[in-house]
Structure 1
Amino acid sequence: MTSERLAFVFPGQGSQQIGMLADAAKEFPEVPATFSEASEALGYDLWDLCQNGQQADINLTERTQPLLLTASVALYRAWVARGGISPARMAGHSLGEWSALVCSGVLAFPDAVRLVRERGRLMQEAVPAGEGAMAAVIGLEDAAVEAACAESAQGEVVAAVNYNSHGQVVIAGSSAAVSRAIEACKAAGAKRAMPLPVSAPFHTELMRPAAEKLAPQIDAIEFRSPEVPVVHNVHAKTESDPAAIKQLMVEQIYSPVRWTACVQAMAGEGINTLIECGPGKVLAGLAKRIDRQITAHNIESPAQLQEALQATAD
């Protein structure tokens, strides 16, 4: 059964925590099974890492990306196994778009796990540590953020890269240019502009070399048409052609995440309920800021999943 009013959204980097999904693993056999499948694909024990490792270990991009993908897929499998209705749309924030593609049947989970590990490694390698930065800008219109970046570039790269909600934009680029843009945003009236604890300038032109190296690896994997349409970060539209989806996933690495537009596009299709499938509730919070008519749930714990099952069965 499908609900035409329901969408699933999948979080990106930043939602990882040591000990996450511990409660879900006790109640949902899909969680340990999915982590076991990922561990086999990766060649190390991913569950042990996220339960017993150090936060610094899971914050390494090449570890973070397969970890969050696995957590999201595990929870979606738990949802399906308990009779949860199928969504009409899916979307994922940055890395989360890979989770959406797996859950919509575009590519096999082990292929995705290996690909996102490589995606993380290449993105981290693209810019030496310390040379890139990201910052969150709160309380400034998109156009003003873009103008601040343009005046702050001075021959370097700095750009708006995550349009997360109205008045919440993330910028990224060369460290010095980001520092200049932070001051320019404050001068333009931003309530806050602060560096983020991220070591690479994701979704900027500085990531293009990583995208070019990942492209042949993406091309080598079988992609299928999605069973549930996925709204893509690059243009906030759906795509059914597997070759076009591959190209979008390459472009996504160095293109802005148009998350506000993605949520608005789903709302325009009649979606009024979002379920955030993965650790944390960042996307659920953003959804309410983007469109107050949207009801959002997150399903990280057994109690939350049960509550969402009941809410969407009514």
Structure 2
Amino acid sequence: MKYALLFPGQGSQSVGMLAALGVPEIAQTFGEASDVLGWDLAKLVKEGPAEELNRTEKTQPALLAAGVAAWRHWKSLGLAAPAAMAGHSLGEYAALVAAGSLDFADALKLVELRGQLMQAAVPAGTGGMTAIVGMEDAAVDALCASCPDGVLEPANFNAPGQVVVAGEIRALDWLDANGKSKGARMVKRLAMSVPSHCSLMRGASDKLAEALAKIVVKTPSVPVPHNLDATSRSDADGIRAALAAQLYQPVRWTQTVQGLQAQGITHLFECGPGKVLVGLNKRIADGLTSIALEDPAGLAQAAQLVRG
């Protein structure tokens, strides 16, 4: 059997995340991250408050650490290695750490900076994100292009009929008023103050590229398809460029999962908190088994499948 490990992105965080696993790698990894960052990430994850954990510059290193912690425990089980790894948005950094491409400490500092740059790129209250349900990808492209005022662009192609768009508030307000009449079954504003993965993040991307240029990037031990184009890369410059471009280009998750299935991968294990990717994967392709590793039951089920 061939399986891939998938790492979730922003939105999967919660106070107390992964505590149900009850394994030593969780506390150890959160403690290590606290030392690297110079603030108590472990306490924030364990105790909250949720409002602080949900601040983008705090969320990103916390979720990275959670994904790496889950991966470290999975690796300790002595199972066969995955055929590939991938991550949704921020999760791509955890995938690259797990694949040996990025050093954990470097990645923590990068994603903390990434969060700060994203928050600073667009003044609070002037940008956001909205989920559109019930429209094909091409129709969402056309809908965004028809917006008469302000930036409105596809940001996450999450599953067939489920696309998230990002842009300026006035454009999102227009979408709220006109989306259903133009074919959407549902239009739902998300609790996101940062319009991720759209052209409003271009300046943040340029600054992130400067930081990426200063860190060591190695060839991943297994393929890691990038959100940018669902294509894996082995050269350092290519990986750096893909991570920088990811900030202002849409996440192509549907294409990523379909690509993994085309490679003969039959099982997808969500390595980190939550079950967001499990839900998306079930909408993307039939014949794939998706399991979340966030609790003992899911972990045991996945491990048994790998052992055969």
TM-score bracket for this pair, using the shorter chain length: over 0.9
Normalised to the residue count of structure 1, the TM-score between the two structures is 0.96
Q: Aligned-pair distance for 1:153?
A: 4.5
Query: What does residue 256 of structure 2 align with?
Result: 262
**Residue number among 198, 201, 204 corresponding to 1:207 in the alignment:** 201
* 1:197-223 alpha-carbon deviations (Å, 9 max, x no partner): 000100011001111111111110000
Q: Helix, strand or coil for the counterpart of 1:280? A: coil
Identical residues among aligned pairs (%):
48
Alignment of 1:161-172 (within 5 A): 161-172=155-166
The runs of 5 or more residues in structure 2 that have no matched partner are none
Q: Aligned-pair distance for 1:19?
A: 1.2
Query: What does residue 53 of structure 1 align with?
Result: 48
**Residue number among 171, 176, 179 corresponding to 2:173 in the alignment:** 179
Q: Helix, strand or coil for the counterpart of 2:4? A: strand
* Residue 13 (structure 1) aligned with residue 7 (structure 2): no
Counterparts of 1:285 and 1:83, CA distance in 2: 27
Counterparts of 2:220 and 2:282, CA distance in 1: 27
* 1:229-259 alpha-carbon deviations (Å, 9 max, x no partner): 1010001111111111001000000000000
Q: Aligned-pair distance for 1:85?
A: 2.2
Normalised to the residue count of structure 2, the TM-score between the two structures is 0.98
Q: Helix, strand or coil for the counterpart of 2:156? A: strand
Query: What does residue 188 of structure 2 align with?
Result: 194
**Residue number among 105, 121, 125 corresponding to 2:120 in the alignment:** 125
Query: What does residue 274 of structure 2 align with?
Result: 280
Answer yes or no: is the 8 Å Cα contact 1:277–1:298 preserved in 2: yes
* 1:27-46 alpha-carbon deviations (Å, 9 max, x no partner): x2111111111001111111
Counterparts of 2:20 and 2:154, CA distance in 1: 37
**Matched residue type, 1:102:** V
- Over the aligned positions, Cα root-mean-square deviation in angstroms equals 1.0
Query: What does residue 67 of structure 1 align with?
Result: 62
Q: Aligned-pair distance for 1:143?
A: 1.4
* 1:69-105 alpha-carbon deviations (Å, 9 max, x no partner): 0000000000010123211111100000001010000
Query: What does residue 116 of structure 1 align with?
Result: 111
**Matched residue type, 2:64:** L
* 1:117-144 alpha-carbon deviations (Å, 9 max, x no partner): 0000000100000000100001111111
**Matched residue type, 1:131:** T
Query: What does residue 285 of structure 2 align with?
Result: 291
**Residue number among 143, 146, 158 corresponding to 2:138 in the alignment:** 143
Alignment of 1:230-249 (within 5 A): 230-249=224-243
Query: What does residue 19 of structure 2 align with?
Result: 22
Counterparts of 2:305 and 2:191, CA distance in 1: 36
Counterparts of 1:270 and 1:53, CA distance in 2: 41
* Structure 1: 4+ residue segments shifted above 6 A: none
Answer yes or no: is the 8 Å Cα contact 1:133–1:178 preserved in 2: yes
Q: Aligned-pair distance for 1:23?
A: 2.3
